[in-house]
Each structure stands twice: as structure tokens, then as C-alpha cells.
Amino acid sequence: AFVVTDNCIKCKYTDCVAVCPVDAFFEGPNFLAIDPIICIDCALCQPECPADAIVQDSHLSQEQIPFLALNAELCEQWPNITAVKPAPADADEWNGIANKLPLLER
């Protein structure tokens, strides 16, 4: 499955959801998660993310590995999202900031 990682936090551009053929994205306050059971590994979402936050599970860095379980967990709690919506006003300022996990809202 593909996994949403740290740089989505507080960026949440949502371009990714427009291309997913199986509606695998779920939305929290400042992050999106992919349901690993629904994801069919088509890879279409990866190049759509302006924050380069989407990574295939087999390519996760050591720091990104916790996001695999986190995506699965959050998808069970959050609603499905299938339409693009405006990013947070300060999204571009947060794009590229490292280690945003403490800022994740649930």
C-alpha cells in the first residue's frame, strides 16, 4: 500500500484524493491517511502530492515506518474524502518542515 507521511501534516493539499480510483483516503483535521486495505498500489496519487508526502510502504525510510500503522489506525476513525478542497492558508509555509508528527490533530 501507499502511505501518507510526515510532510502532509499541516499541508493537506488534498490533490491526492482526486486521482484515487478506489477512494482510499480518509480525512483528519490536518492530515490525510490512506487505508492500506483499500489501496490497490496504483501509484497515481504519489506524483499529485505537492508535498511529496506519499510513499510506497516498501520504500519508507526508518523515520517514516511508524506512518504505516498510523495510516491504518487513523482510517478507522476518520471520514472518507473523495473531493479536493482548499489547503490550509499557511500550507506552503509548513511544506518541507521536518518532524511535524507532534502537530498531528486527531
Return residues touching ligand SF4 (CB under 6 A): 2, 19-20, 22, 24, 34, 39-45
Smallest distance, ligand SF4 to C-beta of residue 90, A:
25
2, 3, 8, 24: which one contacts ligand F3S (CB under 6 A)?
8
Shortest spacing between CB 65 and ligand SF4, in angstroms: 18
98: DSSP letter: S
**How many Å is the Cα radius of gyration of the chain?**
12
What part of residues 41-80 is at the interface with ligand F3S (CB under 6 A)?
48-49, 51, 53-54
Nearest one of 58, 51, 49, 47 to 2, comparing CA atoms: 58
Integer Cα distance of 63 and 88 in angstroms? 25
19 binds, among ligand SF4, ligand F3S, none (CB under 5 to 8 A by kind): ligand SF4
Q: Under DSSP, is residue 79 helix (H, G, I), strand (E, B) or coil?
A: coil
Task: Kindly state whether residue 3 participates in binding ligand F3S, applying the rule CB under 6 A.
Answer: no
Q: How far is CA 81 from CA 25, 30, 64, 77, 99, in A?
A: 6, 13, 23, 13, 25
Smaller CB separation from ligand SF4, 23 or 90: 23
Give residues in contact with ligand F3S (CB under 6 A): 4, 8, 11-16, 32, 48-49, 51, 53-54
